[in-house]
Structure 1
C-alpha cells in the first residue's frame, strides 16, 4: 500500500515512542505491544510498526515462530483516537478509510506470514485488539482476559477488522452472532469453553506457556511448519472436501522430496532428533 501525506514511517516511530519491542530467542521472536500506559491502544506508530514487522516476515525464514504479547495490564484496548496523524486538508471519509485499511492490513499480514503466531493476552482486548487475537494461530489467555467487538456500541456495525470472517470460523455462527450483535465482553472461561483460546494461564505464566509451545513447533521441519499454516489458511475456505484433500496431497508429495524429509527418516531409524537444514 502507498504512503500518503502524513503517514508516519518506521524511522519516525523508532525515533519517538518505542511502540513495540522485538526479542529474538533463536528461531522464535517475541513481539510485545509496548504502550502499557495507554492500555496498548492502537495509535498510528503502533499499527505501522506491526504492519512493517508482519509484512517483513515473508522473507525471514530464520524466524520460524512468533509470540505476540503485550506489556501492562491490558492486551489492547482498541483504537487510540488521539494517536493518528491526520492531513488537515484531507477529507474525513478519505482519512477514515486510510486508518481502516491500515489496521486491517495488519490482520491480513498476520494471516499471510508463513510463521505461526502464538498470542498470549491479559486484561481487555477490545475492537482491533480482539482482532489481533483472532488473526493469531494459537491463543492463550490470562483469567482476567475480556474480549469484545466494541464497534456496535459506538454506533457502528459489529463486524469490523475481520471479526465477521474470523469469529464464526473459530467459534461457530451462533456464538459469533451473540457477541458481534451485542458488543458484550467474552470472558476467558467462555473463550476456553468455545475453543477460542487453548488454555487459561496465570498472567505471569503466559509467556512461558507460549514459548513452550513454540519449542514444540521447532521440533518440526521448517518447510513443513510453514506449509501446515498455509494449508490451514486455505482449507478453512476450501470449496469442497476434494479441494482440501488435493492441497494436502500435493503438499505431502512435495515435502516428501525435501532433504529435511530424508533427514527425518534417518533420524527416526538412528533414534536421534533430526538436524533440520530448511532444504
Structure 2
C-alpha cells in the first residue's frame, strides 16, 4: 500500500505505523487521518499481525491537530470541532483500544494535544529521554480530547490530571515514567530498537491471551469487584480454550520453550 503521510510495514507478525509529516511535527490533517484508518483496517483484518508499533518520523511523535486546517478568517463560520472529533479522533482511539493485540507507542520528541493522548491510548508507551508530553488544549481555549480526560485521571490521579490539563506544561519523558503515565523512558538512540524488540517479543507470545488481558483491564475501570471477578471468570474460560494455552501448559510440562501461534 502506498501512503503519502504515513509509512506502514508488516514484518514478522509486527505492523509498524510511522506518522510521516515531519515538517509539521506529524500533526494530523484529514489525509493522515484517512491513511491511518486504512492502515489500522489492515491490522485488524490480517490475522498474521500480532503486535502494532506506532511512532513518528523526524523530531516529533505527533503535535496533534494541524491548526492550519482550523484557522478561521474574521467573520467566517467557526468549524464544528465536535464533528471532527466524532469523524476522526474518537474512532481512532476506539480502534486502538479494541485491537486484539498489544499496541506499543514509541514516542520521539514532541507529543502534544491529541498526539499525546493517542500515545496514551496505546497499551505500552516507550519514550525517548528528550520526548515530552503536553496537554496543549488549554493554550487555545479547548478541552483535552482523544480520550485525554479519561486516561489522565486514571494514570496519574485527578490532581496531576487537572494540573497537566489546565496549565498545559510540558512533562518530560523521565517525569512521565516516574508518575506512571508511560511504561518506560530510554535514551534517544535506543528508542526505536527497544520498541521494535518489544513488539517482536510480543508478536511471539499468546496473542489471544494478551488481548483478553487488555480487555479485562480496560473493563475494570467501570466495574466493581464482584463484576470484575465475573469478567475474569468468563475471559479465563475463553483463554483456557485457546491453542496457545494448551501449548503453554505442554511446554511447561516438557520443560521447553513454547511455540505460540496467537490462536
Unmatched tracts of structure 2, length 5 or more: 71-75
1:127 to 113, 125, 130: 113
Q: TM-score, normalised by structure 1?
A: 0.85
Q: What is the match of residue 103 of structure 2?
A: 117
The question of 1:268 aligning with 2:252 is answered yes
**Aligned position for 2:136:** 150
Decide which of 215, 228, 235 is 1:244's aligned counterpart. 228
How many Å apart are 1:81 and its aligned residue? 2.5
- Which one of the candidate residues 187, 195, 209 is aligned to 1:202? 187
Higher normalized contact order (CA 8 Å, seq sep 6+, divided by chain length) = 2
Residue pair 1:140, 1:210 contacting (<8 A) in 2 also = yes
With 249-258 and 164-173 compared, the bigger mean Cα shift is at: 249-258
The superposition leaves residues 45-79 of structure 1 with CA deviations (integer Å, 9 ceiling, x where unpaired) of: 11112223334433332111111111101111121
Aligned CA-pair RMSD: 2.2
**Which blocks of at least 5 consecutive residues in structure 1 are unaligned?**
1-9, 85-89
Following the alignment from structure 2 to structure 1, what is the Cα–Cα distance between the partners of residues 30 and 106?
A: 22
Give SS of 2:60's match: coil
Work out the CA distance in 1 between the residues paired with 2:237 and 2:195. Answer: 31
Please tell me whether the aligned partners of residues 171 and 194 of structure 1 are also in contact (alpha carbons under 8 angstroms): yes
- Distance in 1 (CA, whole Å) between partners of 2:118 and 2:262 is 29
Question: Which deviations, in whole Å up to 9, do the C-alpha atoms of 1:185-231 show, x marking residues without a partner?
Answer: 11112101101122221222111111222233234322112211111
Number of corresponding residues:
258
Contact 1:42/1:83 (8 A) holds in 2: no
The answer to whether the 8 Å contact 2:97/2:122 transfers is: yes
Note the C-alpha offset of 1:83. 4.4
CA contact (8 A) 1:23 1:31 kept: yes
1:100 aligns to what?
A: 85
Structure 1 residues 185 and 235 mapped into 2: Cα distance closer, same or farther (>3 Å)? same
Relative to structure 1, the CA distance from residue 57 to residue 233 in structure 2 (aligned partners, 3 Å threshold; closer, same or farther) is farther
Match of 2:197 in 1: 212
Among candidates 13, 19, 22, match of residue 5 of structure 2: 19
Q: 1:112 to 1:258 in 2, by over 3 A?
A: closer
CA separation in 2, counterparts of 1:278 and 1:130?
Answer: 30
1:3 match:
none
- Secondary structure at the residue paired with 1:41? coil
Give CA-to-partner distance per residue, 1:252-274, whole Å, 9 cap, x none. Answer: 12222333222222211222222
For residues 246 and 151 of structure 1, the distance between their equivalents in structure 2, rounded to whole angstroms, comes to 39
2:206 to 211, 218, 221: 221
Distance 1:277 1:74 in 2: 35
Deviation per CA, 1:155-186, whole angstroms, max 9, x where unpaired?
A: 223x3221100111111111111101111111
**Runs of 4+ residues over 6 Å off in structure 1:** none
